[in-house]
C-alpha cells in the first residue's frame, strides 16, 4: 500500500497522458458520413480534419451556430473563445505557424488592421455578393456577418428618479448633470476603440481628445467589457452606458428597466456608427476547405437567423428580419469606411493610453 501511494502521482500522470491521446483524436464515429452540404469540395478535402475557430464573439452567441454547423457537416469544430483583440494578438504571433483556420471578431476596424498585417487570406465566393460592400474587405479578407449599432442605453427608472434629461447626442454626456452616470467599456474592447476612431474622424483629433477628457472629468466608469456595462446600467449602478445595441436588448430581455437612444440623428450630427462582426479565413489555414464552408455557412439564412434571434443583431443578408427594436435603415448611420477606421486604430489606442482610459 505504501509503495502504491508513492507511485500515485506518477500513475496519475501516466493515465493522464494516455487519456490525452484519447481526447486529442477526433472521434472516428460519425465523421465518415458523407457530407451533405451544397458547398464545393475539392478532392483533397479531409472530412476528419478539425476546424479550429478563434472567436471574439461570446460563447452563448456563437456556440449555437457552431453546433448547427457540426450537425450539418459532421465536421468537428473546436473553438477558442476570448476577446477579439486577445485572439487577434495570438493570430499575429502565430503567423507562419497558424493554429486557427477561421477568425470571428466583433468589429471591422480590428479586422482591417489584422488584414493589413497579413494575418488573413483573401476569400471569394458568390455568397459574398449578398453582403453590402461597405461591410466587407475588398478582397474578402474579412466579411461582415452581422451588424451592430453603437447606441446609448439607459436605466429608465434612474433617469426618472434623478430627473435626468435623455441625451440626444453622445457629445451631451460630458455635461455636468451626467457626472458619474456614464459607463463605457475599456479599450480592451475593439468596438469601443473603433467608435473612438469614428469620433476622431468626425470631430477631428483635438475635439475628440477634449471630448474624452470631458468624459473623464465627468467621472466616467470604465468597465471591463460591454457585459459589465449593460449590467451596471441594468441594476442602476449608473444611468447611461455606451454599448452595441444588442446589449441593451439582452439587458431588456432579462427584465431590467432599460431604454435605448440612437443618438446624433440631426442633419449636422454624426449619426450612429454601425460596425460589423467580421469573419476571416486565416492565412495558410490548415483546413481551408472547412473554413470556407463555415464562412459560407455564416452567410446562410440559417446562421443569420440565429444571429438575429439569439442576439438581436442586424442580419446582413436580405430576407432575414432583425429582432432589434430599431431596425437598420430607420436611423441615420455614420457614413464611414470601416477599413479606414482600422487604419486609425493604432493612433486611437495611443490616445486612449495617453488619457489613461
Partner 1 sequence: MAIPAPSAAEVGVAPARRWSPLPVFFGRRRAPVLVIAIAVALAAFMAVPLFYVFYRGLTGSSEVWDRLIDDRLPDLFVSTLKLAICVSLVTVVVGVGLAWLIVRTDLPGRGVFVWLAAMPLSVPPYVGALVYIAILGPNGYVEEWLSALTGTRERDLPMPEYYSLGGTTLALSLFTYPYVYLMASAALRSFNPTLEEASAASGRRMLSTFWSVVLPLLRPAIGAGVLLVALYVLSDFGTVSLMRYDTFSRAIYDQFTSRFDRSAASILSTVLVLITIVVLWGQSFSEGRARYYQTIGGWRPPRPVKLGRWRYPALAAVVTVLSLALFIPIGLLVYWTVEGLTDSSVASDVWSYSDDSIYTYAWNSLWTAAAAATLAVLVALPLAFLAVRFDSPFSRWLARLSQAGYALPGVVVGLSLIFLLNNYVEWLYGSAFVVVLAYLLRFYPQAHQSTTAALTQVSPNMEEAARSLGRRPERAFLEVTVPFIRPGLMAGWALVFLTSLKELPATLLLRPAGFDTLPVRIWINSSEGIFTLAAPLALLLVLCSAVPLYFLLRQSRVGPTVIT
Q: How far apart are CA 250 and CA 209, in angstroms?
A: 31
Cα torsion 68, 73, 75, 80: sign = negative
Query: Could you tell me the maximum CA-CA distance found in the chain, to the nearest angstrom?
Result: 83
Give the Å distances, CA to CA, from 307 to 49, 80, 276, 314, 317. 26, 19, 12, 8, 11
Residue 213 binds partner 1 (CB under 8 A)? no
**Which CB, 272 or 285, lies closer to partner 1?**
285
The interface mask with partner 1, positions 313-342, x = CB under 8 A, is ------------------------------
Residue 29 binds partner 1 (CB under 8 A)? no
Strand partners, 221: 183
Question: Rounded to 5 degrees, what angle do the CA atoms 194, 99, 53 make?
Answer: 60
Residue 97 binds partner 1 (CB under 8 A)? yes
Strand partners, 144: 278
CB-based contacts of 242, cutoff 8 Å, min separation 6:
150, 151, 152, 170, 173, 182, 183, 184, 185, 192, 195, 229
Residue 199: helix, strand or coil by DSSP? helix
51-55 and 102-104 beta bridge pairing = parallel
Scanning 169-177, 199-207, 235-243, 321-329 for contacts with partner 1 by CB under 8 A, the matching segment is 235-243
Residue 12 binds partner 1 (CB under 8 A)? yes
Helix (H) or strand (E) holding 149: strand 143-155
**Which CB, 31 or 227, lies closer to partner 1?**
227
Residue 4 binds partner 1 (CB under 8 A)? no
- Least Å from the CB of residue 328 to partner 1: 26
Residue 353 binds partner 1 (CB under 8 A)? yes
Number of residues lying near partner 1 (CB under 8 A): 66
- Least Å from the CB of residue 118 to partner 1: 11
Scanning 41-49, 93-101, 136-144, 199-207 for contacts with partner 1 by CB under 8 A, the matching segment is 93-101
The answer to whether 195 and 187 are in contact (CB under 8 A) is no
Scanning 200-208, 218-226, 273-281, 303-311 for contacts with partner 1 by CB under 8 A, the matching segment is 218-226
**Which CB, 98 or 214, lies closer to partner 1?**
98
Residue 72 binds partner 1 (CB under 8 A)? no
Can you give the binding site for partner 1, defined by CB under 8 A? Answer: 6, 9-10, 12-13, 16-17, 19-20, 23, 52-54, 58-60, 63, 66-67, 78-83, 85-86, 88-90, 92-97, 99-100, 110, 113-114, 117, 158, 161, 186-188, 193, 222-225, 227-228, 231-232, 235-237, 345-346, 349-350, 353-354, 356
Amino acid at each position: 500500500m505504501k509503495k502504491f501511494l508513492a507511485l500515485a502521482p506518477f500513475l496519475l500522470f501516466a493515465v493522464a497522458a494516455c487519456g490525452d491521446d484519447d481526447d486529442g483524436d477526433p472521434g472516428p464515429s460519425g465523421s465518415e458520413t458523407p457530407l451533405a452540404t451544397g458547398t464545393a469540395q475539392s478532392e483533397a478535402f479531409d472530412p476528419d480534419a478539425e476546424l479550429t475557430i478563434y472567436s471574439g464573439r461570446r460563447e452563448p452567441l456563437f456556440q449555437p451556430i457552431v453546433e448547427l454547423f457540426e450537425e450539418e457537416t459532421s465536421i468537428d469544430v473546436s473553438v477558442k473563445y476570448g476577446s477579439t483583440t486577445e485572439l487577434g494578438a495570438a493570430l499575429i504571433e502565430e503567423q507562419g505557424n497558424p493554429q486557427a483556420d477561421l477568425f470571428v471578431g466583433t468589429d471591422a476596424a480590428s479586422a482591417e488592421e489584422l488584414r493589413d498585417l497579413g494575418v488573413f487570406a483573401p476569400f471569394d465566393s458568390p455568397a459574398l455578393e449578398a453582403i453590402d460592400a461597405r461591410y466587407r474587405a475588398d478582397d474578402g479578407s474579412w466579411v461582415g456577418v452581422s451588424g451592430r449599432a453603437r447606441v446609448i442605453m439607459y436605466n429608465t427608472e434612474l433617469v426618472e428618479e434623478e430627473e435626468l434629461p435623455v441625451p440626444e447626442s453622445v457629445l451631451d454626456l460630458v455635461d455636468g448633470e451626467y457626472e458619474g452616470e456614464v459607463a463605457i467599456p475599456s479599450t480592451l474592447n475593439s468596438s469601443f476603440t473603433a467608435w473612438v476612431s469614428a469620433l476622431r474622424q468626425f470631430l477631428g483629433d483635438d475635439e475628440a481628445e477634449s471630448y474624452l477628457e470631458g468624459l473623464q472629468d465627468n467621472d466616467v466608469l470604465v468597465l471591463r467589457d460591454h457585459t459589465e456595462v449593460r449590467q451596471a446600467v441594468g441594476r442602476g449602478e449608473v444611468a447611461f452606458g455606451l454599448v452595441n445595441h444588442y446589449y441593451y436588448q439582452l439587458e431588456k430581455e432579462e427584465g431590467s428597466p432599460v431604454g435605448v437612444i440612437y443618438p446624433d440623428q440631426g442633419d449636422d450630427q454624426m449619426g450612429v456608427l454601425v460596425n460589423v462582426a467580421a469573419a476571416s479565413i486565416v492565412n495558410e489555414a490548415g483546413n481551408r476547405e472547412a473554413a470556407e464552408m463555415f464562412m459560407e455557412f455564416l452567410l446562410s439564412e440559417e446562421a443569420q437567423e440565429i444571429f438575429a434571434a439569439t442576439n438581436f443583431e442586424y442580419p446582413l443578408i436580405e430576407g432575414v428580419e432583425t429582432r432589434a427594436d430599431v431596425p437598420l435603415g430607420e436611423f441615420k448611420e455614420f457614413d464611414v469606411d470601416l477599413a479606414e477606421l482600422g487604419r486609425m486604430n493604432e493612433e486611437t489606442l495611443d490616445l486612449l493610453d495617453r488619457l489613461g482610459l
